[in-house]
Structure 1
Amino acid sequence: MGISARELAANTPATRDRYVDLLRVVSLGVVVFGHWLMAAVTADGTVGNLLAVVPELQLVTWVFQIMPVFFYVGGFSHALAHRSRPAYAAFLRARLQRLLRPTMVFIGVWGALALVVQLLGADRGLTGVALRLVAQPLWFIGIYLAMVAFTPPLLKLHERYGWGAFGALVAAAAAVDALRFAADVPYVEFLNFAFVWLAVHQLGFLRADGMIRLPSALAAVGLTGAGLLVALGPYPLSMVGMPGEKVSNMAPPTLALLFHGLWLVGAVELLRGPGTRFVARANVWHKVVAANGIAMTAFLWHLSAMLGVYGALLALGAELPAPATAAWWAQAPVRIAAAALLTAGLVAAFRRFERPAPVAPGTGQGGPVAALGITLALLGVLGLSMVGFGGLLEGRTALLIAVHVSAPAAVGTALTGWLLVERAGRGGRRGPDAA
C-alpha cells in the first residue's frame, strides 16, 4: 500500500515550492470545468461549443484558457528533476511513470469498448461522437511528452543563454506565423506545436533559477501583444479551438497564444505571495497533495464522464434545453455535479495506475533507446488524439502532419514507445527497487 496523501502532506520538506503544486492542480481543474461547461449537447446528440453559440463569451478564454500555466509549471518541475537525475533514460522513465501508465490504461479500456460498440453496430449518434471526442485530451499528453523529451538540451541552452534561449523560441514561433500567413507556406504551421509550447515551458526553467523578476512587465507585454495580434492580425479572439474556424489559436498554436501564455505566467507570478500563504495552510496543502495524486487520471476520464451524463439524460428521455437558454443555464449546475460524481467514480476505479513504481538509479546508458521510445510514444498519442476510437474495423485514419494514421497503428506505436522508455530507464538490469 502506498503512502497516503495526509502522510505525504505532513512529511513535505520546508523547501518545496508548494505554490507550483497549487498551480498544477488549479490549471487542470479549470480545464476540466471549462470542458464540462462549454459542451453544448442537443436533443439529437449533436455536440457543439457554447462559445460558438454565444460568441461574446470567447473573451473569457483570455482568463480560463489556462493550459499554458500547466506547461509553465512543468518546465519548472522538469528542470529540478533533470538536475537531480541527469541520466537521460532514467530521467525520462521517472518523469513518465505517472503520465504514460494511466494513459495506456485509458487507451486500452476505450479501445476495447470501441471494438465492442462497433461489433454491436451501436457506434452512431452520441456514442459515435463520444468515440471520437474522448481521445481529444490526448493531444495534451503528446505535447507534454515532447516537453519532457526536449528538457535536457533546452535546459542546457537555458543555462548558457538564459532569456536568450526563450527569445529564440519566440522568434522561431513568429517566423513560422510569418511564413504561414504572409507566404502561405504549407505545413509550416505545425512547427509551432513545438516552438510555442516549448517557449512557455522554457519560462519554467527561468522560474526555477529565479530569473522572472518583473512579472507585471511580463503580464503587460503578453496582454498587449496578444491584444494587438488579435486586433490587427489574422488571429481569432478565442484562445481555444472553435468548430469550423479557418484559423485556430490552439491547433496549431499561434504567436497570439504564446503572448497569451506570457500574460498568464505574469499574472500567476503576481499572485505568488498570497498563493504561497494560502497553500501553506495544512488543510489546503493536504487537499492539493491529494488532488495531485489523481490529477492525470481525472483529466483523462473527465470527458468520458461528461458524455456519460449526457448519454444517460438522452436514454432516460430527459429534456435537453437549447444551449445558452435560461433553462440550459439552470440545468448546468446539475449536469456538472453529475459529471464530477461520475469522474470521481472513474478515478476510484483507475487511480492505482497513477501511482509510480519505484525507479532505479540511472546508469547513464540507454539514452538512444529512450529517445526513440519517447518519440514513438508522443507520435502514437498525438495520432490517437486526432483519429479517435471510432471506425476501428473500417480502418479509419486521420492526418498527423503529413502521415495518415489509424487508431490501431497509433496504439501500437504509443505502446511500443512506452515499453522502450521503461526498458531504457531501467538501464538494462534489475536493481533492488526496479521490480
Structure 2
Amino acid sequence: MGKSAVSGFGARELAAATPATRDRYVDLLRVASLAVVVLGHWLMAAVTADGSVGNLLAVVPELQVVTWALQVMPVFFFVGGFSHALAHRSRPGYALFLRARLQRLLRPTMVFVGVWGAFALVVQLFGASRPEAGGGLTGVALRLVTQPLWFIGIYLAMVAFTPPLLKLHERWGWGAFAALAGGAVAVDVLRFALDVPFVEFLNFAFVWLAIHQLGFLRADGMIRLPGVLAAGGLLGAGLLVALGPYPLSMVGMPGEKVSNMAPPTLALLAHGLWLVGAVELLRGPGARFAARAGVWHKVVAANGIAMTAFLWHLTAMLGVYGALLAFDVTLPAPATGAWWAQLPLRIAAAAVLTGVLVAAFRRFERPAPAAPATGDGGPLAAVGITLALFGVLGLSMVGFGGLLEGHSATLIAVDVTAPVAVAMALAGWLLVERAGRGRTVRTS
C-alpha cells in the first residue's frame, strides 16, 4: 500500500488493492484509537468566558472513571508495536527502517511546528497578547497546542528501540515483556516506597515500551489468552488505585500530586493490559467489520489523514472557542445543563474546522518520493532520531508561550526553550532523512 500511496492513488483505489493477507483490524484500531483521543480532548475542554481552559474531569470528578474506557493511547502504541515488527522484518536496515517509518510522522509534525511557531512570533512581535502572562485564549493556545506532541516523542522512541527490542522478543518472547514490566514495578517501588528522586521518569520508557512489546507478541500470534490479560489488567489496575497511591483518572489532572500519565505508573500499565486484552477479545467481530468494503474504504481514507487530524484537532477546538468569544456568544459554566446542551454543536464545529485544516495540510502527510536508500547510515539515523525525540518532547513541555522571552521547561534536568527544541527536532528529522541514502555514482 505504501507504493500506491506515493504514486497518487485515492483511498478507494487503495482499499480495492489491499491484499487479503493484510490485518485490517489493526488499521481499524489505529484509526479508532486516535479518534477516541481527539474526541476525549474535545469533551474534556472546559473553556470559560475569560478564555481560561480547564478540565471537565476536574469540575466533575465522578466522570474520571470514564478514562478507563477513553484513555486508549495504549491501544495505539500496541498497534504500533505490531506494525513496527512487520515493517522492520521487511526493511532490516536500521536507517532504512527509520526513514520509512518516520516520513509520515515527522514531515507533518514539522509543518505544524513551523506554522504555530510563525504565529507565536507574530503575536509577540506585534503585542497582540502577552502569552507569558496568560494572554487570554491566545496565550493559552500557545502553551496548549504543543502538549499532544508528547505522543509523537514517545512514538519516536518506540521506532528507535524497535530493532533491539524485537531481537529480545524473538529470543525471549513473553520474557522480554516481563523484563520491561518488572522495570516499571521497580521504578514505582523506588518512587513511592523509598522516595528516590527522579526515578519515576524511567517509566516513560518501561511502561510505554512494555505495551509496545505486546504488539510484537501479537505479530507472532503469542497472545493466546486475551481474556486473562484483560481480566488481570482490570483487576490489577483496580487494586492499585484502591490500595495504592495511584489516582482514579488514567489521564493527567491539574494540580494532582501523582499522575498516572506523566510520568506513567504501574496502574497505567495495568490499564494498558486490560485494553489490549479487550481489543483482542473483539478481534473476530472487529476483523469481520473491517473487512466490509464500505468500512474498509473509510478506514483507508482515515489512515491517510490521521496524523494531520491529530496534530491540528486542538487548533480547531481552540479556534471554535475563540470565534465564540469574539462574537460574544455566552459560554455556559462547565458541566451545567446549558454547557452540556451546547456541547454537540461545539464538537460538530470543531470537527468541521479540523476537516478544513486537514484539507489544507494533508499533503504533507503523504510520503515524498525518497532517494534510493542503502542499509548504511545507522549511527547517523540514531543521532537523528535522538535529536528529534528530545526536540519534540521538549516542545511539548515548553510550548510557544514567551517565545521571545526565553521561556523554558525542564526536560530530564536540562532547561529547554522553544527555539532550541524546534532546532533539535528539525536537525533530527533532516539527519534521519539523510541517513542511509544511496550515493549517486558519477560516470564520465
State TM-score, norm by structure 1: 0.98
C-alpha deviation, 1:99, in angstroms: 0.1
1:26-175 matches, cutoff 5 A: 26-123=32-129, 124-175=135-186
1:20 to 1, 23, 26: 26
1:226-265 matches, cutoff 5 A: 226-265=237-276
User: For residues 213 and 314 of structure 2, what CA distance do their matches in structure 1 show?
Assistant: 29
**CA contact 1:39–1:49 (8 Å) conserved in 2:** yes
User: For residues 212 and 364 of structure 1, what CA distance do their matches in structure 2 show?
Assistant: 32
User: For residues 167 and 428 of structure 2, what CA distance do their matches in structure 1 show?
Assistant: 25
Structure 2 residue 197 is the aligned partner of structure 1 residue 191:
no
C-alpha deviation, 1:120, in angstroms: 1.8
**CA contact 1:87–1:364 (8 Å) conserved in 2:** yes
1:177 alignment counterpart:
188
User: For residues 263 and 359 of structure 1, what CA distance do their matches in structure 2 show?
Assistant: 40
Q: Which amino acid aligns with 2:172?
A: Y
Superposition RMSD in Å: 1.0
**CA contact 2:375–2:436 (8 Å) conserved in 1:** no
1:256-405 matches, cutoff 5 A: 256-359=267-370, 362-405=373-416
**CA contact 2:395–2:418 (8 Å) conserved in 1:** yes
Q: Which amino acid aligns with 1:71?
A: F
User: For residues 273 and 152 of structure 1, what CA distance do their matches in structure 2 show?
Assistant: 30
User: For residues 179 and 217 of structure 2, what CA distance do their matches in structure 1 show?
Assistant: 14
Question: C-alpha deviations, 1:166-190, integer Å up to 9, x for none?
Answer: 0000000000011111111111111
C-alpha deviation, 1:361, in angstroms: 5.5
Question: C-alpha deviations, 1:8-27, integer Å up to 9, x for none?
Answer: 00000000000000000000
- SS of match in other structure, 1:3: coil
Compared CA separation, residues 30 and 328, structure 1 to 2 (3 A) = same
Q: Which amino acid aligns with 1:239?
A: M
**CA contact 2:377–2:436 (8 Å) conserved in 1:** yes
User: For residues 150 and 18 of structure 2, what CA distance do their matches in structure 1 show?
Assistant: 32
- SS of match in other structure, 2:389: helix
User: For residues 285 and 240 of structure 2, what CA distance do their matches in structure 1 show?
Assistant: 32
Question: C-alpha deviations, 1:42-90, integer Å up to 9, x for none?
Answer: 0011100000000000000000100000000000000000000000000
- SS of match in other structure, 1:139: helix
State TM-score, norm by structure 2: 0.96
User: For residues 294 and 431 of structure 2, what CA distance do their matches in structure 1 show?
Assistant: 40
C-alpha deviation, 1:430, in angstroms: 5.0
**CA contact 1:294–1:351 (8 Å) conserved in 2:** yes
- SS of match in other structure, 1:363: coil
User: For residues 420 and 40 of structure 2, what CA distance do their matches in structure 1 show?
Assistant: 31
Q: Any stretches of 5+ residues in structure 2 without a counterpart?
A: 1-6, 130-134
Q: Which amino acid aligns with 2:94?
A: Y
User: For residues 111 and 25 of structure 1, what CA distance do their matches in structure 2 show?
Assistant: 28
Compared CA separation, residues 85 and 360, structure 1 to 2 (3 A) = farther
**CA contact 1:135–1:384 (8 Å) conserved in 2:** yes
User: For residues 10 and 252 of structure 1, what CA distance do their matches in structure 2 show?
Assistant: 42
C-alpha deviation, 1:122, in angstroms: 2.0
User: For residues 401 and 27 of structure 1, what CA distance do their matches in structure 2 show?
Assistant: 29
- SS of match in other structure, 1:241: coil
- SS of match in other structure, 1:398: strand
User: For residues 345 and 126 of structure 2, what CA distance do their matches in structure 1 show?
Assistant: 31
1:407 to 397, 418, 422: 418
**CA contact 1:87–1:362 (8 Å) conserved in 2:** no
User: For residues 424 and 53 of structure 2, what CA distance do their matches in structure 1 show?
Assistant: 30
- SS of match in other structure, 2:435: helix
User: For residues 240 and 430 of structure 1, what CA distance do their matches in structure 2 show?
Assistant: 49
Question: C-alpha deviations, 1:220-277, integer Å up to 9, x for none?
Answer: 1100110010001000000000000000000000000000000000000000011000
User: For residues 361 and 388 of structure 1, what CA distance do their matches in structure 2 show?
Assistant: 36
Runs of 4+, deviation exceeding 4 Å: 359-362
User: For residues 364 and 34 of structure 1, what CA distance do their matches in structure 2 show?
Assistant: 41
**CA contact 2:77–2:208 (8 Å) conserved in 1:** yes
C-alpha deviation, 1:363, in angstroms: 1.9
C-alpha deviation, 1:426, in angstroms: 1.8
**CA contact 2:42–2:317 (8 Å) conserved in 1:** yes
User: For residues 89 and 402 of structure 2, what CA distance do their matches in structure 1 show?
Assistant: 44
Q: How many residues align?
A: 430
User: For residues 194 and 47 of structure 1, what CA distance do their matches in structure 2 show?
Assistant: 30
User: For residues 269 and 59 of structure 1, what CA distance do their matches in structure 2 show?
Assistant: 22
Compared CA separation, residues 111 and 155, structure 1 to 2 (3 A) = same
User: For residues 19 and 154 of structure 1, what CA distance do their matches in structure 2 show?
Assistant: 24
Q: Percent identity?
A: 84
C-alpha deviation, 1:362, in angstroms: 4.2
Q: Which amino acid aligns with 2:71?
A: Q
Q: Which amino acid aligns with 2:388?
A: A
User: For residues 190 and 51 of structure 2, what CA distance do their matches in structure 1 show?
Assistant: 40
2:215 alignment counterpart:
204
